[in-house]
Chain A
Amino acid sequence: MDKTEMLSGTLDLLVLRVLNTGPLHGFGIAERIHVLSREVLRVEEGSLYPALYRMEAKGWLKSEWGESERGRRAKFYGLTKAGRKQLETEEAIWDRTSVAIRNVLKSTELT
């Protein structure tokens, strides 16, 4: 399996992004990121759960216990209003950063 290291700071953005479509449990979040990245990105549990707890402590996420698809009790994370705002901010930052990085990379090719 292809394990691509996550760029630091992007995990929060990805988690917020996948939760924007609706609440998911931890395993679901990891799966969704894996799938949406065409199986390039793989979230390590060792980073995922501390990140989830951190974002919940910051008030971006709220958690609720509910039923999973197979009827088992699972903890679902959803975005709060603050979380949605944070997602917008992070997306904007990411856009700016990625454009900037691309520009830098292009300019290196030219020389």
Chain B
Amino acid sequence: MSWLRQIWFRFRTVFQRSRLEQEMAEEMRFHLELRKEREVAAGLTAEDARYSAHRTFGGVEQIKERCRDEQTWGWLEQGFRDARYAWRSLRQAPGFLAVAVFTLALGIGVNAVMFSLVRDHFLRPLLRDQRLNLVSVFTMPEEPARTFRFFSFTEFEAVRAERQVFSDVTATGFATVALGSVTEAKRSLIGFVAENYFSVLDVAPAAGRFFTADEARPNANVMVAVASHSYWNRIGRPSNIVGSTFRINGLEFTFVGLAPEGFGGLHNAITPEVWVPIGVAAQLAGFLGTADSRDLLHPRSYRLSLIGRLVPGLSLEAAHARLSPLAQQLNAGATASERRKIVVARPSRYNFATVQPDHPTLTEFSRRSATIALGVAGAVLLVASLNVANLLLARGANRRKEFAVRLSLGASRGRVVRQLLAEGLMLGLMGAAVGVILCAWCGASLHRWMVEIFSAGTFAFNPQPPIDLSVLGFAVATALLATLAFSLFPALRSTRLDLVSDLKRQPGSTGTAGTWNGLFSMGNALAMLQIALALALLFGAGLFVRAARAAANFNHGFRLEAGVVANIDFDFGRTPAAEIPRRQRAILQHALQIPGVQRAALASAVPYNFERHGRGVFAVGVADSDAQAAVYTAVSSDYFRTLGIAFLRGRDFTAAETSEATSHPVAIIDETLARRLFGDVDPVGRHLAMNRAEASGENPAATIEVIGVVRSPHEEVFEENAPARFYRPLGQVTATNTYLHVEPARGMAQSALIERLRRELRLIEPDNAVLLVRPLADFPRRNINSASIQMGAVLVAACASVAFALAVIGIYSVKAYAVARRTREIGIRMALGAQPGEVWRLVLVQGAQQAAIGIALGALLAVFTGRAAAHLLYRVSPNDWALLIAVSATLAAAAIAACLIPARRATKVEPVIALRCD
């Protein structure tokens, strides 16, 4: 039982503090009295006896303090006491408390937001669980530099049977489909997966079940699906999702399960909308890869990418050593050029198609983005911490007398410092609490915005919970770090006292405060550092904003303003291939008859939609012509006029060319392809070929005549050079994906036209879902790359504004405080005849000096920041001297302005009052 008593003994000090204190005091008093009586008995006078007793006893309060230390679990009881005292002391200064907590909350909140962004997009974009020992499995030609391909189902089965290397292997593929109901559907990315996909990735369903082996057998055609959590969110989180039906390409599917929140397969940030078993793959067009047939059992149907779990403890090198028998087996009967090898690699962030390591520019880009994001947030936190440190210094200077009293009463300096740190910690934690609330709020807005951006694309955005344990932990860690940064130094400084002079001090007097007015005093140094940091941040923000403006003013090479786009994809429906051209012409004819439509055209792709079909193109009759990669679009006549793409030479496609398959084959190319293929020669009248044999001119009938050259349209903000393009008339080539471009007549409202188009298309194409009807301008606006530039600018600008505001407040408070403490000195100066002008100068000159030093420092910092951010800046040079000068001037003006109010107050000092004020 003795340990129980011990625990109680120590705990009691927390709950019975006042009683124990009283008892301790009584015990000491009793001792002193007995001692005094003893001295009196020895013949001393009462007064001498008391003196002697006290002298032999020593410092009562010091002894008490040591007793208290013995009595308790020091940390527990003192922690409570420190917290209570800190709270009481902070509560007495509500203004200070509010400013400090809000300042810290801004700093910590900004950090938490940035952290959660970095966490989702750069730290954890992949499911990388060491325990799972996951690898991506690839098949590559033995002779390098050959085309990559996916696996066939037969190969998948062979790899899966390799138990020396893999404890399990699963297969997945992607398909773009029309997902939704009969009438409302969206082009979406879905995954088709083997039955063990979810178990290999170690996830359990949030509701329902995953797939069975029967459902995953090739051509099983069991129409079941698992919804991703974000798809479920988007359709309004129905509680009865399991068992509900929806349509993929018009076919009815039933949901059997719901994937857990945050799961998107190997990638965390994006996710297929739904998963279906590979047993229905034959119903779906492929998204990537080559397939002679959609039927998985066809030997050349390469549609699957494989993810394996290595047997426990097996390294990548060891796995490779064991893989050659498997390759031998798969190569049986292959010719030398067909021989392939099996390769495994850790899942890649960006490449799910090839075994090459992550593209260095992408890795570098994400590393730099993460660094910049956290660096910017860290700088804001630093500015905030400096502000609070300044506040605490000022507060500490005013509390010197309090500290002196406590020290003289027996508190050790360490004790007082700890007390001040407790106050700092309390501020930090309160700041973290408010900061997390700010973060949740900002995170929610950011999240809504990203969902909106992604809703235009085929992938679904896979939101991670904005606030989770890692974010909370990060916020608390930030708070602790900030607390150390802002409160340790002021605490040490404020408690370094000269007891005698400080005890005599009156609050607010100058006395021994020392270097408060020196140019490099602590407060001033902190203010200068703030100016420097704010300058660097503002400069960075300026660069990012300019980049965003450059991206927004990007010359697309086509008209965006009025156009409307509608999309139908015959690939998703059951229209016979031979019917498609006729149906497309009917759509175009119908659209042209809608009142308010000025022009209309069809195309097989729309800019900014990540749909690019590349082809290698040869020039006929040019010696040693190499294939030039070019983006290929099938269009109707009038396409270029509808989009406002300028003709440089030649003519548009004729109506005959757009409608008759037997017409003379023609093409229109853009200036880039013209230059690459034909140099300075006029390409109109020359011929293109789609392969080398035809390029030699052996078969003139197979070549395509160039009839026109257009200006290159840009469609990707990150691309330095627009890709080469060539266009074929829809009559001569077939395209299933059909975008109807419509230019409204003057006076026709875009929204009305969108509604009208939707209705009309449903009417004439009842069997094919209308995938979208949207303004053309929506495509670049909701393009993920353009959006990320805008988002970067908004985030950095927000951080910089916060830092700027905090820095100005910081300068103001240092100056205001200095003037308040100089009241007496200023009073004396004025009494001795100083003019207001000199007083102005007194305050302003120093302010200007500090601003100058801060700005010089900041300019250096800004140049470095600019260099570091250069890779992320879109078409903006980091050496923007005009911007640097403008930002410096803004800060200088703000710094001087922040000094004006205190300076004015200084000139209003009444000498008589000032002299009496002590």
Q: Which residues of A contact B (CB under 8 A)?
A: 25-27, 44-46, 49-54, 56-59, 65, 68, 72-75, 80-82
Contacts and interface: CB of A to CB of B under 8 A. Distances in A.
Given A26-B27, A44-B58, A45-B58, A58 B67 contact: no
Given A46-B63, A72-B30, 9 more contacts: A25-B30, A27-B30, A46-B58, A46-B66, A49-B27, A49-B28, A57-B9, A57-B70, A75-B27
B58 A50 contact: no
Contacts of B63: 45-46, 49-50
Interface string B1-43: 0110110011000000000000100111011001100000000
Contacts of A75: 23, 26-27, 30
B34 A53 contact: no
B561 interface: no
B2 A82 contact: yes
A57 B58 contact: no
A26 B31 contact: yes
A74 B6 contact: no
A46 B69 CA distance: 13
B71 interface: yes
A69 to B, nearest CB: 10
A46 B3 contact: no
A53 B3 contact: no
B337 interface: no
Contacts of A82: 2
B57 interface: yes
A74 B9 contact: no
Contacts of A58: 6
Nearest to B53: A45
Contacts of A50: 63, 66-67, 69-70
B56 interface: yes
A33 to B, nearest CB: 14
Given A27-B30, A27-B34, A80-B2, A54 B58 contact: no
Contacts of A46: 57-59, 62-63, 66
Contacts, number: 66
Interface residues of B, number: 26
Interface in B450-498: none
A59 B5 contact: yes
A49 B67 contact: yes
Interface in B212-264: none
Contact of A57 (B26, B28, B71): B71
B353 to A, nearest CB: 69
Contacts of B10: 57
B69 A27 contact: no
A50 B63 CA distance: 7
Q: Which of A26, A51, A59, A73 has the most CB of B within 10 A?
A: A59
Contacts of A57: 6, 9-10, 70-72
Nearest to A55: B70
A35 to B, nearest CB: 12
Contacts of B58: 44-46
Contacts of B26: 73, 75
11 contacts: A44-B58, A50-B66, A53-B70, A54-B70, A57-B9, A57-B70, A57-B72, A59-B5, A65-B23, A73-B26, A82-B2
Nearest to B5: A59
B103 to A, nearest CB: 42
Nearest to B66: A50
A68 B84 CA distance: 37
B3 A59 contact: yes
Nearest to A42: B56
B31 A45 contact: yes
B31 A27 contact: yes
Nearest to B72: A57
A43 to B, nearest CB: 11
Nearest to A50: B66
A75 B20 CA distance: 12
Interface string B63-98: 100110111100000000000000000000000000
A12 to B, nearest CB: 12
By Cβ-Cβ distance, the 10 closest A-B pairs, closest first, are: A54-B70, A53-B70, A50-B66, A59-B2, A53-B67, A46-B58, A27-B34, A27-B31, A53-B71, A75-B27
A67 B833 CA distance: 73
A49 B32 CA distance: 13
Contacts of B59: 46
A45 B5 CA distance: 26
Contacts of B70: 50-51, 53-54, 57
A22 to B, nearest CB: 18
Contacts of B2: 59, 80-82
Interface string B894-914: 000000000000000000000
Contacts of A52: 67
A59 B63 CA distance: 21
Nearest to B4: A59
Contacts of B71: 53, 56-57
Nearest to B65: A50
Which of A45, A52, A68 has the largest number of chain B CB atoms within 10 A?
A: A45
A74 B30 CA distance: 7
Nearest to B35: A27
A39 to B, nearest CB: 13
A64 B405 CA distance: 34
A45 to B, nearest CB: 5
Interface string B401-435: 00000000000000000000000000000000000
A59 B6 contact: yes
A45 B3 contact: no
B742 to A, nearest CB: 86
A66 B578 CA distance: 111
Interface string B655-694: 0000000000000000000000000000000000000000
Contacts of A73: 26, 30
Interface string B580-619: 0000000000000000000000000000000000000000
A70 to B, nearest CB: 9
B209 to A, nearest CB: 59
A3 B31 CA distance: 19
Nearest to B30: A74
Contacts of B34: 27
Nearest to A60: B2
Contacts of B23: 65, 75
A72 B29 CA distance: 12
A74 to B, nearest CB: 5
Nearest to A1: B56
B536 to A, nearest CB: 54
A73 B33 CA distance: 12
A37 B56 CA distance: 19
A99 B713 CA distance: 102
A27 to B, nearest CB: 5
A101 B28 CA distance: 37
Nearest to A44: B58
Interface string B124-141: 000000000000000000
A72 B27 CA distance: 11
B9 A56 contact: yes
Contacts of A56: 9, 71
Nearest to A58: B6
Contacts of B27: 25-26, 49, 74-75
Nearest to A46: B58
A64 B511 CA distance: 50
Contacts of A26: 27, 30-31
A73 B30 CA distance: 8
B639 to A, nearest CB: 90
Contacts of A81: 2
